Structure 1
Amino acid sequence: MAEPVEFPNTTGNGPTDAPDVVDLCARLIRFDTTNLGGGQSEGERDAAEFVGEVLASAGVESRIYESAPGRANLVARIPGSDPTLSALLVQGHLDVVPADPAEWRLPPFSGEVRDGFLWGRGAVDMKDFCAMVLAAVHAMARDGRTPRRDVVLAFVADEEDKGEFGAHWLVAAHPGLFDGCAVAISESGGYTYHVRDVEGQAVRLYPVGTAERGTAHLRLTANGRAGHGSRRNPDNAVVKLIGAVHALAAHEWPITLTPSVRAFLSRTGEALGVEVDLGDVEGTLARLGPAASLAESTVRNSTTPTMLQAGYKVNVIPGTATALVDTRVLPGTEKALLADVDGLLGPGVEREFVAHQAAVEAPVDSPWFDAMASALRAEDPGAVVVPYCLGGGTDAKAFASLGIDCYGFAPLWLPEGFRYREMAHGVDERVPVAGLRFGARVLERLLATI
């Protein structure tokens, strides 16, 4: 069960102080919410109950919705001062990927602070965001402030698998919870990305996710004639599969510039003082230097073979061979991509979806994006806020199906040299304490003014 919610007086201003975001994040990390996949998960109910208690202590009512025993999703709605305005959805997941303690310097569920960092599985993916949201809500309640528009909070299960017990289930089973929501924020954006301009001066980019490539995970099945390995067999399923997989892996998918990627290249190039030639994207990426890593995987589609399976004995030609291909699809390109895939597979190889979720694209030029940029610049006046497209995916794919514009905005200040993007799912995952406090302030400002 969740530990009782008691908050220390962290700022010395009296008993109504909001809880410290670092303490909140540490306590969330200590819930082992490991998602093993295949419907197997731990601790999500306990973590959701803790979140509910924290919200209750700020005067916010919430409810837990279970998609299956223990697979808990908590939803709350904070009424805004102007009921005519559309609502903002703030969504995050409470589950985490597995962590092997033998590989870590500190126990992965200790939630220990050391050397200015909070350590633990989920510290950046994404219990940091969940804690920052809770701290921001508490700070607003402490000061008697009400958001302008309704704010819907969703803390969900199962993002680290398929979302079938979390966001996708909520959207299908309880869509009314999100009535009136026009925009959503969540993980994978709004963090400091340190680069240098052409004169060597430091530039602090803050990429905000305005798009995600779609997911079209494919299973390829090659059928042939089973037989003895010593005999000639022109209908060998393994050979057919190898040819199809090689064709997909070797294919150079054409560059396709979506609005988010186009805006990223133009605005980042301007901030760095480098030439941007959208007719020569590879050359432009080379000139962007380290900043190119934010776009290099999203200027084209991708088909990456990841798993192969065939046969049971070395001297037996199997009648069937299969492969899994991680296919990622840019907004607006899926139909053409799949047609090309079918042409590359060749005869005797069929494809089917293992997972299929559409790409996400929110407006780059919008009041929502402007409000996020303003909230960041209020805390870091030197922030250069740019849109970008995520190469992978998040629960935004579920909420976007309701017509909600979804943005990756989990603000976090990061020190130069900190390899933040390697932390998610990595060993020794950790987040800077100062970054958590920065993010809580940015979110508080955004919730109060958007």
Structure 2
Amino acid sequence: MTQMWDVVIIGGGLAGYIAANYLAKSDLSILILEKGNKVGGRAQTEKIKQDYFNLGPHALYKKGKAAVILEELDIKLDGGSPKLGGILTRNTKEYTAPFNPLGLLTTSLLNWKERIEWIFILSKIQQVDTQALADQTFQEWVEKGVQSKNVQSLLFVLGRLSTYCHCPEKVSAKIVVTHIKTSLGGVLYLHDGWQTIIDQLHNKAVIKGVQIKTHFIVKQVIPTEHRSLKMILSNNEEIFCKYVISTTGPLELTNLLGEIENVKANNIFSQLTPVKGASLDISLSQLPHPKKLFALDMNDSLYYSVHSNVASLSENRKNSIVHVFKYYHPDDSIDSIKVRNELEQFLETMQPGWRDVCVTSRFLPNITVNQRLPLVGHEKYFQRSETEIPGLYIAGDWASPHYILSEGAACSGKQAAEEIIQKEVISCRSAMKSINN
């Protein structure tokens, strides 16, 4: 550990492992430091009895950037895709969701004029240049371009589903529409959960010589006079390296940097707001109502889905893995007892009598789904991965100018690695030129 490393990556989650695997294609020495006793971050999957639970509902965009990047790294993505459709609830009434042709024709939520407007707006989303939306909120974009209140409500629901962001009056239209556009290409629920991605990335990294240390907590990152970085661990051990990629959250990074002068990014990082939610993860020995597989509530920002309908998530094939989720507004005051009752009541409307067939139940009242609520104007802070501290790079679900969630984690992890490799190439060329001269 006392050696001089080329790159130290703080955090063994999706962004950190993607960065490590791209860097491993070079001759750089790479160390991953994970503060927990298990790698994976929010991509961890917990096995409870015979069942596999992600940290709340997880879906991978089939046509997203993360899928492309993982395939570049030869990661196998095995899973199933749910059919578009399901139920929308509003004021205790149920409506067929107009997310497929049959639903559009049969739903009582929309009149014929609204159906035409809904088709038009979905077509518009597929063709829109999302960069042109960078200066407006999602709510502004919706209200300016859509007349029907019902269609507006549908777009807010779709935006929430695609981003986990329940704050249309603040979030960037560019980010939300980009994710809606990608989600319309379908999603994948992964067999045995998202840990399968992390395990593959971990194994490939180890084979390529990447060192991984768990239960190592970085306390401080300090620039040195020799254009290197020093990390002080919680046990006061010191590690030196040329480059650091921090995949921690922005507030944690601010604390790591301490009182370093002239770092404007510090102020930005400390002002970022996380995206949060609550999840009730359930294993049922059978579905009391087997045809109800997906539902969204339009008023109370609730989600329900049976992921095991298309993905293998239990060693007992008869078990059904169900996720019920509440999207929090950033101003919400969280009452975990009230929220749990709300989630259980929503599950009861979908699967009456579920308690009688419940195998496992896990309630997560306050999940950080994404480390940054993507506000208008944020993208200018994340055009490059390198911070104002030379050699210090950021990656993670919050560190991309164009994406959040796994899309942001994958893109920023790759970008940080590529910037470091490019800097090394330039440095090598400069050294060779000096020798030749």
TM-score range, shorter chain: under 0.3
Q: What is the TM-score normalised by the length of structure 2? A: 0.26
Compare the two structures and name the one with the higher helix fraction.
Answer: 2
